[in-house]
Structure 1
Amino acid sequence: MRSGGMDSSLSTKFLDVDLKLMEIHYHPKEVLVKFQGQYNTEDEFDYHILQNEIQQVPKVKDSVGIGDFCLVEESDCGEWYRGRVVQRKNQIYDVFLIDCGKILSVYEAHIACATEELFQLPPKIVSGIFANILPLDEKWSPKALNYFSALRDLKIKGHVEAILQHQTLLLDVPKIASDIVELNLGKLVDGDTFCLIVEMLMESPQEPLCKQMPDLLQQKYTSSTLFSTGSEPEQPILHSLQPRLSGGEVEKISGILRQCHSLM
């Protein structure tokens, strides 16, 4: 089953989400703060029934491509799970288990086609990036890192601004954005600028953001400059960061930026 339908369903049905944060991934030198969470849902019994159904359905072996949803067997225990193919090298597939939040590497013999009926429930575990927040300078302060570490087990409400590869959510969380400003832990940027930052870091993960967009991290903000939660600056920061092009030069347009617009 192609993942395109699932992406469309998520983008329209699950824009506003309630999550319990399970893991927070942060580093003082990395500007993106990532998380892994579980939906705040009372459908736990439904997931239990679904997992039993997955074991019982006939496993149809067919060609499965990168980005496709599938069923995958963990060979050690013989249990089947819902998954999505994220990479293939020869006969070995890397499959992201959407209800467990981990990647399983298996041979083709352990993969089966999936039907849409088995994917009616949203992924039980989701991974994402907290949207629109950046450190005050080039890196997060110890105080900010302490704040992020305290977010584990917190229940949050957020808005999905984009769905990236591997079903990674770009999630705007008003509570966290408000805390970042009030506690002077970081600064906020508009959604378009943040989407551009994410794409640049995905394309060149080894290149620090301070080198890719020095004007952004060097720009200082006062409390009056920062926009309050739920509203954006009158003049988006992206306007001041447009590339300076000479005549005849061509600049690639951000694919994630277009996706952000389509999901808003």
Structure 2
Amino acid sequence: MPGYRGRFAPTPSGPLHFGSLIAALASYLDARHAQGKWLVRIEDIDPPRSPAGADALILRQLEAFGLHWDEEVRYQSDRDAAYQAALERLATLGLAYPCSCSRKEWREHAVYPGWCREGLRHPGRPIAWRLRSDLAMRPVTWCDRLFGRQAFDPAELGDVVLKRKEGLWAYQLAVVIDDADQAISEVVRGFDLLDNTPWQRQLQDTLGLPAPRYLHLPLIVAANGQKLSKQNLAPALPTADAEVRGLLHRALIALDQAPDATLAQAPVDEQLNAAIAGWDASRLRAQPYRPQPVDTP
């Protein structure tokens, strides 16, 4: 695909695990099969959750699996001015507003009820900034490359936070601004982020930014049925070549790519070259969880 630009954007809250590998590998193969660019972005907008050295470890893990990026790694912690400009634009349009409510106050509601839409309910308190999801584009529809047509009314999901009370930027705004700035044409990521897409499409539309195509991947779950995640203490990916080779083969199996069994212990580059040539996203099974969970070793 001419002009294909993909990316992998991990949060440096800890090392990558098998679920992370699935997202990184799928986005990499999709980009390379299309003879496109593959970028890495470190989403370090939450310093308290980003231990020192985690970003460097993530990059070493990617390199160990042969996943080499094409441009300089971007760090969201360097992007404050761009996010602030976008927030000010949204506020000028009447689509972002300050909110002084605490989660405890609205805990009996399924989503934030929009109490501060017409003015601060508690002047003098620290404020967050929220998106007026009821005034932006709605309903939101798009066609996911795996899960097909999607339709959401973001107003039913609530007014998402764009900037937190602590002054930290929220994921929804930062990811939209950076995807546009880096000219990302394809977003390949886990199914757990599918319901974030409506807010992101609203922001893209409001700010006049292009919308990438989306491919949401089935989640990888552990034997107990839980999604593999750092919060669930999923084991870190290895960096030793002997361990990496077998785990890369298992990741290709988990992505339904039916890799040649004779390549199970082949060098990483050999496995990746075969996987790039044979990559077929249509082989993925369109379901949130796999019926036979894949465990990390």
Query: Relative to total residues, which structure has the larger strand share, 1 or 2?
Result: 1
TM-score by length of 1: 0.32
Using the size of structure 2 for normalisation, the TM-score is 0.30
